[in-house]
Chains A and B, each alone.
Chain A
Amino acid sequence: MSALLEVRDLTVRFRSKTALRALVERDRHPWIEAVCDVSFSIGEGETMALVGESGSGKTTLARAIIGLVEPAAGSIRFSGCEIGALSRGEMKRVRHDMAMMFQDPRGSLSPRLAVRQLITEPYRIHDLKRRDLDAECRRLLGLVGLPAEFGERYPHQLSGGQARRVGIARALALDPKLILADEPTAGLDVSVQGEVLNLLARLQDEIGLSILMVTHNLNVVRHVADRVAIMYLGRFVETGPTEDVFRQPRHPYTAALLSANPESDPDARMARIELQGDVPSLLKRPSGCEFHTRCFRVQATCRDVVPARGAAGRQDFTCHFPLSDELSITARRKG
């Protein structure tokens, strides 16, 4: 499988204090690493999911890929081109083939523009005005299952699900090869979540898109993603094929995330893992294994020694004491 997107050792830094203050305080490292040494690749027609809680760096990673934030180190190759080395004009070309869907279905649509203008915005940006924009608008609305009359509506007249469809239509306008979907189901009701996910799956089958999906919702990932990467404090703690990760998570954090999805069955009681405390601050990363402050299997080694990347089957993880088959996280019937 040829890789469409290849990310190697990517690090994204943000300043934690101003340069002057860092100088005065003699802080040699006035940065926080929102994304830290991340590597992965996405093949053509593949869906990969980045899963993590708020502050895990998953959105920052997606924004770095599309060029909204500057990476501090590492490489991003898209269709064989190194993105960091591109000029502004070449970058605009790359944006042709990459589109991003933002979290807030309505908030990511310019409020004073009608749907027709919103959907054809990419053509105007990329100077493709010669195309028949009305026909394009109808084609794109049809693709996402909205009637053509929706072209005349404004964002505040759309429901969450409709706004999300408009966002998808706009992302598809330039026939991209890769779609970065940031929380595609956030803010949507369960009955609509399914519609959006089905639509993405259908488009993928029809057009052969690759999708990088950023989400905190593991339930969603299971049905859409081929592979999944779990992020914690800006690093990948576990990656692998979705089925394998769901069947047998290796990293305790993955297991905790999986168990934190209460099932809508009053009699099913999960082997619940309640993590202690909060996600640590990126300013004060814990020593050793960064998950040790919340881990339910923590041991002395974890506090001091940084775990190396291990592998089991097709899964990769960074844990000294990975879970094995004896601790499986499946629903059990009560009494």
Chain B
Amino acid sequence: MAATETTPITKPRLPGSFEIAFRLLLANPLGLFGLCAVVLIVLTVILAPWLAPYDPIRIMVGPRLAPPSLDHFLGTDQLGRDVFSRVLVGGRIALLVALASIGAALTLGLALGLAAGFGPRWLDNAIMLLFDTVRSFPVVIFGLATVTVVGPSLATIIFIVVVTSIPTFGRVARTQTMAIRNDEFIVAETAMGAGAPRIVAVHILPNIIGPLLILASMDIPVVITIEAGLSFLGVGVPPPAPSWGSILSDGFSYIRNTPWPVIAGGIPLILTTLAFTFLGEALRDIFDPKLRKDA
């Protein structure tokens, strides 16, 4: 209630907002788990080539479809490849696709959203029409159509994800911009003679970027599953390169012989998804102004 608002505290030095955010993150068990898991996953994936005991694409390093053993932690697949090594290296592709495409989608969506939110009415209408057109296509249909035309590759997957996620970021950026464009501090800048580029870059962007970064961190697992889904359907990363989706897909064909490849491909996918989701949700709670007032 108004109670805390009407209590100005004048302390010599107040902790910066990032310091408080970090402290709140550490105080949130799920958020802490998410943070640790994300750090661990990223480290593992970066170090994958050194951690992997076998070459992930070399065939017949062991018997086919072997269950887990000390030689092969997660067993082998139908071509006798080491599944553990494939999972580690496949994680690289998953994260590369996720980070590259989310990064690009965030940048482009932000630019378009800012233009729509701060620009003239006609520009807003044009950009919104574009967003709605893209969003009215089912993602899977759009993805299959694109792959059919340009062929499966990592770049194609990134392209598909970028195009389909831009409207999500763009809409949030636009709404946030519109919410503050008539705030008094923006009017004050205009009155001082500041031009639109300066107002957008210096005054609007820092105030709307928080929610977008949270949205991005929560979108990363979605993208990983899109990549996995497309690879599972056989239109993703072309073989023999390992990816979580193709590990699942291969394992699925031999599930009657052994369940291990499916489990090995599924668990890191679930773990990564959960880790990023927990981190994203914790960040969202921390940046929610209603919860931040106590800080």
Q: Is the CB of A95 within 8 A of B192?
A: yes
Is B184's CB under 8 angstroms from A102's CB?
Answer: yes
The residue of chain A having its C-beta at the shortest distance from the C-beta of B188 within the complex is A108
**Bound Cα distance from A122 to B188, whole angstroms:** 11
Q: Is the interface of B mostly helix, strand, loop or mixed?
A: helix
Asked if A44 is an interface residue, CB under 8 A from chain B, the answer is: no
> What 1/0 mask marks residues of chain B from 174 to 206 whose CB sits below 8 Å from any chain A CB?
000000000111011111111000100011001
Smallest beta-carbon distance B181→chain A, Å: 13
What distance in Å separates the Cβ of B10 from its nearest Cβ neighbour in chain A? 6
A68 touches B190 (CB 8 A): yes
A230 at the B interface (CB under 8 A) = no
For residue B82, give the distance in angstroms from its CB to the closest CB of chain A. Answer: 50
Of A23-31, A70-78, A109-117, the stretch lying at the interface with chain B is A109-117
Question: Which of A103, A108, A154 counts the most B-chain CB atoms under 10 A from its CB?
Answer: A108
Among A96, A108, A124, A159, the residue within 8 A (CB) of B185 is A108
Q: Do A107 and B183 form a contact, CB below 8 Å, given A112-B207, A159-B8? A: yes
- Complex Cα–Cα for A107 and B186 (A): 9
- B70 within 8 A of partner (CB): no
Residues 68-96 of A at the B interface (beta carbon under 8 Å): 68, 91-92, 95-96
B103-128 vs A, CB cutoff 8 Å, 1 = contact: the mask equals: 00000000000000000000000000
Q: A69 CB to closest chain B CB, in angstroms?
A: 10
With A110-B203, A125-B198, A159-B10 known to touch, is A99 a contact of B192 (CB < 8 Å)?
yes
Taking CB atoms, residues of chain B closer than 8 Å to A108 are 184-185, 187-188
Q: A110-B202, A111-B207, A157-B14 are in contact. Are A95 and B191 (CB under 8 A)?
A: yes
Q: Is the CB of B188 within 8 A of A92?
A: no
User: B180: nearest residue on chain A (CB-CB)?
Assistant: A111
Interface centre among B185, B187, B198 (most CB of A within 10 A): B185
CB of B184 within 8 A of CB of A107, answer yes
B188, A100: Cβ atoms closer than 8 Å: yes
- Asked if A66 is at the interface of the complex by the 8 Å CB criterion, the answer is yes
Q: Which of B8, B191, B202 contacts A100, CB < 8 Å?
A: B191
Contact of B191 among A66, A103, A107, A113 (CB under 8 A): A66
How many contacting A-B pairs (Cβ < 8 A)? Answer: 62
Question: Do A125 and B193 have beta carbons less than 8 Å apart?
Answer: yes
The residue on B at minimum CB distance from A171 is B192
Q: How far is the CA of A99 from the CA of B191 in the complex (A)?
A: 7
Residues of A within 8 A of B183 (CB): 107
Which residues does chain A contribute within 8 Å of B193, judged by CB atoms? Answer: 91-92, 95-96, 122, 125-126
Query: Which residue in chain B gives the minimum CB-CB distance to A104?
Result: B184
A211 to B60 CA separation, bound complex (whole angstroms): 87
Q: Is A125 within 8 A of B185, CB to CB? A: no
> Which interface residue of A66, A110, A122 has the most chain B CB atoms within 10 A?
A110
Chain A residues with CB below 8 A from B206, complex form: 112
With A95-B191, A95-B192 in contact, is A111–B8 under 8 Å at CB? no
Are B191 and A110 in contact (CB-based, < 8 A)? no
- Please judge, given known A-B contacts A110-B202, A159-B8, A159-B10, whether A121 and B187 are in contact too, CB under 8 Å: no
Which residues in window 28-62 of A have CB below 8 A to B?
none
- Which chain A positions have C-beta within 8 A of B203? 110, 112-113
How many whole Å from A316's CB to the nearest CB in chain B?
29
- A107-B184, A110-B185 known; A121-B192 Cβ under 8 A: yes
B205 closest partner in A (C-beta): A112
| Contact, CB under 8 Å: A103 / B192 | no
Chain B residue contacts of A112, Cβ below 8 A: 203, 206-207
Known: A110-B203, A159-B8, A159-B10. A68 touches B184 (CB 8 A): no
When distances are taken between beta carbons in the complex, the residues of chain A under 8 Å from B17 are 154
* Chain A positions near chain B (C-beta within 8 angstroms): 63, 66-68, 91-92, 95-96, 99-100, 102-104, 107-113, 121-122, 124-126, 154, 157, 159-160, 170
Can you name 21 A-B pairs with beta carbons within 8 Å?
A63-B191, A68-B191, A91-B193, A92-B193, A95-B191, A95-B192, A96-B193, A102-B185, A104-B184, A107-B184, A108-B187, A109-B185, A109-B188, A110-B203, A111-B185, A113-B202, A121-B192, A125-B194, A159-B8, A159-B10, A170-B192
In order of increasing CB-CB distance, the 7 nearest A-B pairs are A95-B193, A112-B206, A108-B184, A107-B184, A108-B188, A100-B191, A125-B194
